[in-house]
Structure 1
């Protein structure tokens, strides 16, 4: 994305994406060349929704993006932890399950028991499989975690 101020971009909050405007220094042709390279290397694929072509991650591309996205969400979790603002968890509902499970694992690996209240707030709105993983993280942090 070149960093446009298109009404739909703003309406859907895409301008708040951490990579929004990343290529603003490039020309449209340079951006197109990069997208073409990603397709040729197998990181992106073109899928059609009716007659509308859409760029989507390939399996290989998603493996990379999943890790990146989970890390971005983890950083947000950490930031909101300081504010004791747990409303952020509402944004996690219906996200890719594999990425969410990776996020939960990242939180668990911190050993930081201060995440427990936020995890509990998140658990309240999630589906059963994710609730179970969140509870495992809470149990682990309550038993093994430290507060720092």
Structure 2
């Protein structure tokens, strides 16, 4: 006969009625490296800038939102994290008897946009600090829908400065991603339509009557 696992009974702090948009984005970003490997306690430590051994051992102090709420109490940050769970931005799923964080659909739709723009900011730094060829292997095996969103943002920006980055990226990723990269490069590299002024300048100018 199998033993029934004793799962921790979770109690949530429901004292907060609302949370500002910036706090929602901060907590979602802080949660990213913790998804499916840690729970509320670790997220609170990261947000408060804890120097606990488990935080430092796993490099959680490199989290871009590490210490975002350094001046707040554990209870205050717990209430914010629990608000995120109760309002369907984050969830908890059990692995054995351990409740681990996951993104809900609502939360992931925000986090993927945050992360995509963060990666594009990284492209800007790479272009400013290094010359091609660029090593883009770090983008391989990232979340596919986040990568597609990133490429759509670049498509909308239509900035040709990213073409060397995109060309280097296309050399190392999978066929479906390469296809989307090629679409973006084609759009960015397409010649701009002739301006109205250029069109009108091609028509013969009216000649002045001869001076008698």
C-alpha separation between the residues in 1 aligned to 2:103 and 2:138?
21
C-alpha separation between the residues in 2 aligned to 1:76 and 1:3?
24
Q: Which runs of 4+ in 1 moved over 4 A?
A: 6-13
Q: SS in structure 2 opposite 1:66? A: helix
Q: Deviations over 1:52-72 (max 9, x none)?
A: 211111111111111111111
1:79 equivalent to 2:98? Answer no
Q: Which runs of 5+ in 2 are unaligned?
A: 1-45, 193-212
Distance 1:125 1:7, change over 3 A: farther
> How many residues matched?
144
Contact preservation (8 Å) 1:44, 1:58: yes
1:130 equivalent to 2:182? Answer no
Shift of 1:114: 1.8
Q: Deviations over 1:79-113 (max 9, x none)?
A: 212223533x3222211111111111112222221
Q: SS in structure 2 opposite 1:47? A: strand
Higher relative contact order (CA 8 A, sep 6+): 2
Q: SS in structure 2 opposite 1:131? A: helix
1:97 equivalent to 2:144? Answer yes
Report what 2:112 is aligned to: 66
